[in-house]
Amino acid sequence: MKFATKAVHAGVHPDPTTGAIMTPIYQTSTYVQHSPGKHKGYEYARTQNPTRDALQTSLAALENGKHAFCFASGLAAIDTVIKTLQPGDEVIATNDLYGGTYRLFVRVFEKYGIRFQFIPMHNADAVVPHLTPQTKLLWIESPTNPLLNIVDIERICQLAHHHGAKVAVDNTFASPYLQNPLDLGADLVMHSVTKYIAGHSDVVMGALITNDDQWADQFKFLQNAAGAVPAPMDCFLVLRGIKTLHLRMKAHCENGKIVAHFLANHPKVGQVWWPGLPSHPNHAVAARQMRDFGGMVSFTLTDDRVENAIRLMENLQLFSLAESLGGVESLCGHPATMTHASIPKQEREKAGLRDSLIRLSVGIEDAQDLCEDLERALALV
């Protein structure tokens, strides 16, 4: 089945009792048993919920995986992965990483004896000297947040597997429409469903998708044992969002391309980061492992004082100044004070993240209106 058909149909069936074509919101905490221990497969809603089941089946299909598990947020999903490790285990992560992931690793899990290294991975082979017998997991983002670095997922997986380590890919920026890491050899895909998958800026949720049966058993155990499950209403909203994921992503990519080229040709714009630009250092890898280049664009100004970046963001009208990304409406953000403020300035600068960087989540509005908004705000700096 092709992606668009899966987006509309995977995991969902008309309700057998009424014929309702949409999956009902099973807003219940428990399920009646006809005799102790005899039930219809549902006991308590932290453990199982039919609306969540439908969504998990849909997400597994979209990522070409066997098992999917949903959580109350993207970070709750990541938290679950790290809880499958033991004290003494090491994780190697990309150094240009979502700020909340960095915070979870360093400020929550280091004190339990799990060690984290943050390594640039635009050259995949650079991880080799950092791999030790204790390295159990490589945590990859590609494209990265916010610098849109591209990691060669297939190559990283070969190197990691050769050393007996697993690879997890945070696929939030690409969405399953643009990239399927399991097909490239990854052991696990993680999504902040909050972003492109839900797509309408009205839900916070996370997901894990894997083909690894043993890891899946641990995720299922932890989903119930630690209990960071999403609400049925949110699962319904995400199921609705998924039905247009392919259409939205196509529009995000088209607009992302127009905005990236507009910025790249503007005299007041310094550097532009978008994996579809031939000047992007890993453009060739992006073209190989992604189906298109997405709607996230980062840039700096020629006069790259922070005051100028702030003035620009204050004057944009269609691009609302807000954290998050992946909704139908365009957003702009300032990673240094917003999404990445939890990473120390020194670490940010080591990863090439300057305080003057502006990040755009290009929405699905009319591209000309978006460029005119940028043009007008650029004239004021």
Nearer residue to ligand PLP within complex by CB, 147 or 269: 147
- The beta strands (E) that lie in 255-328 are given as 269-273, 296-301, 320-321
Q: Which of 42, 46, 268, 304 is catalytic?
A: 46
Smallest separation, CB 178 to ligand PLP (Å): 14
Q: Among 67, 357, 349, 87, which Cα is nearest to 223's?
A: 67
DSSP SS3 for 140: strand
DSSP SS3 for 146: coil
Q: Which of 79, 96, 152, 170 is catalytic?
A: 170
Nearer residue to ligand PLP within complex by CB, 55 or 269: 55
Catalytic site includes residue 2: no
Q: Residue 144 has which token pair? A: 């990265």
Nearer residue to ligand PLP within complex by CB, 98 or 319: 98
- CA pseudo-torsion sign 8, 98, 278, 266: positive
Q: Residue 107 has which token pair? A: 């400020």
Q: Among 133, 134, 167, which Cα is nearest to 152's?
A: 167
CA 169 from chain centre, in angstroms, equals 9
Smallest separation, CB 237 to ligand PLP (Å): 14
DSSP letter (8 states) at residue 83: T
Residue type, 210: T
Q: Which of 6, 26, 98, 155 is catalytic?
A: 98
Smallest separation, CB 361 to ligand PLP (Å): 10
Catalytic site includes residue 98: yes
- CB under 8 Å to 338, separation ≥6 — which residues? 323
Smallest separation, CB 80 to ligand PLP (Å): 12
Catalytic site includes residue 359: no
Rounded to the nearest 5 degrees, what angle is found at the Cα of 311, between the Cα atoms of 308 and 315? 140
DSSP SS3 for 268: coil
Nearer residue to ligand PLP within complex by CB, 73 or 330: 73
Nearer residue to ligand PLP within complex by CB, 61 or 204: 204
Give the full edge-to-edge strand order of the sheet including 90-94: 67-71, 206-210, 188-192, 166-170, 135-141, 90-94, 115-119
Q: Which of 6, 195, 248, 257 is catalytic?
A: 195
Smallest separation, CB 205 to ligand PLP (Å): 6
Q: Among 61, 57, 53, which Cα is nearest to 1's?
A: 61
Nearer residue to ligand PLP within complex by CB, 15 or 323: 323
Phi, psi of 91 (to 5 degrees): -120, 135
Binding site for ligand PLP (CB under 6 A): 73-75, 98, 100-101, 141, 145, 170, 172-173, 192, 194-195, 204, 206
CB 75 within 8 A of CB 98: no
| 82 burial via Cβ count (<10 Å: 0-12, 13-18, 19+) | buried
CB 99 within 8 A of CB 342: yes
Smallest separation, CB 171 to ligand PLP (Å): 9
Catalytic site includes residue 31: no
* Closest residue to bound ligand PLP by CB: 74
Nearer residue to ligand PLP within complex by CB, 196 or 262: 196
Smallest separation, CB 242 to ligand PLP (Å): 16
Residues serving a catalytic function are: 46, 98, 170, 195
